[in-house]
């Protein structure tokens, strides 16, 4: 590929990526699998099975391409959303995903706090250390972005998984509490 074509290809990727791919460069302890690529979510991932992958985590709903793109560009323009995916390059399919959301605070001298969200690996690829790769990538990215803390909520059976990756339940500070709110979107789906 000529220099100009290569530069155009890089620019096209930057436009398509949710966040700059360079943020994932040279993260420590990264293991690049054969034929698998760890990269930012791209606007083209609707056609690579991203929504079907998320449906292995929870109810996603009948999201069309326009809805996906509208949310993608909203996340990109607001900033602070880092959806990291694993693509199987042979199948051109997204087979793993996890998200870092960076919250801007006033406390702690205008600190940044990270939240780990929506970790999922396609059932056919589980048990190959990809969940671990995704979570460690997010933890390293949070560190690179200078978050002072990375938090998550999880179901009880997953506590050992996250503990094995360095997360700790802090004594006296390990309760997740929620108010479930019935939104207009949910009502219209019923
Ligand atoms: C949880 C999930 C992401 C793990 O992905 P995975 O690719 O199968 O996990 P890995 O192969 O990277 O496992 C890494 C280690 O964690 C362990 N582990 C994986 N799932 C575990 C679980 N549910 N409980 C305890 N340990 C677990 C593995 O045994 C492995 O240990 P090892 O390093 O000693 O071999 C995957 O099972 C999944 O997508 N589940 C459905 C969605 C979900 O529940 N996501 C979490 C939302 S909080």
In the reported structure, the alpha carbon of residue 43 is separated from the centroid of ligand 1 by a whole-number distance in angstroms of 27
Residue nearest to atom 48 of ligand 1 (CA): 154
Q: What is the pLDDT of residues 88-135, one digit of tens each?
A: 999 999 999 999 999 999 999 999 999 999 999 999 999 999 999 999
Tokens of 166: 């360095």
Domains and CATH numbers, the chain: 3-154 (3.40.630.30)
Q: What is the pLDDT of residues 18-76, one digit of tens each?
A: 999 999 998 765 555 579 999 999 999 999 999 999 999 999 999 999 999 999 999 99
The ligand 1 atom nearest the CA atom of 128: 11
The CA distances from residue 54 to 60, 74, 112, 147, in Å, are: 7, 19, 26, 26
CA–CA separation, 14 vs 159, rounded Å? Answer: 36
The CA distances from residue 6 to 3, 19, 62, 174, in Å, are: 5, 19, 37, 49
Residue pair 86/37 in contact (Cβ under 8 Å)? The answer is yes
Q: What is the pLDDT of residues 135-190, one digit of tens each?
A: 999 999 999 999 999 999 999 999 999 999 999 999 999 999 999 999 877 665 54
The pTM for the full model equals 0.91
CB of 135 shorter than 6 A to ligand 1: no
């Amino acid at each position: 590929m000529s220099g100009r074509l290569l530069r155009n290809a890089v620019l096209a990727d930057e436009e398509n990526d949710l966040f700059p791919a360079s943020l994932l460069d040279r993260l420590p302890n990264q293991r690049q699998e054969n034929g698998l690529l760890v990269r930012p979510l791209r606007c083209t991932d609707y056609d690579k099975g991203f929504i079907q992958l998320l449906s292995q985590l929870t109810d996603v709903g009948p999201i069309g391409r326009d809805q996906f793109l509208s949310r993608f560009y909203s996340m990109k323009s607001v900033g602070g959303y880092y959806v990291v995916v694993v693509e199987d390059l042979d199948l051109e399919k997204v087979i793993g995903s996890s998200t870092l959301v960076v919250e801007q605070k006033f406390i702690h001298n205008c600190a940044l706090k990270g939240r780990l969200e929506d970790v999922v690996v396609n059932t056919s690829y589980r048990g190959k250390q990809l969940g671990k790769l995704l979570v460690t990538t997010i933890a390293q990215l949070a560190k690179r972005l200078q978050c002072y803390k990375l938090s998550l909520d999880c179901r009880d059976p997953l506590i050992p998984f996250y503990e094995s990756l360095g997360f700790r339940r802090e004594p006296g500070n390990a309760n997740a509490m929620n108010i479930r709110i019935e939104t207009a979107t949910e009502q219209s789906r019923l």
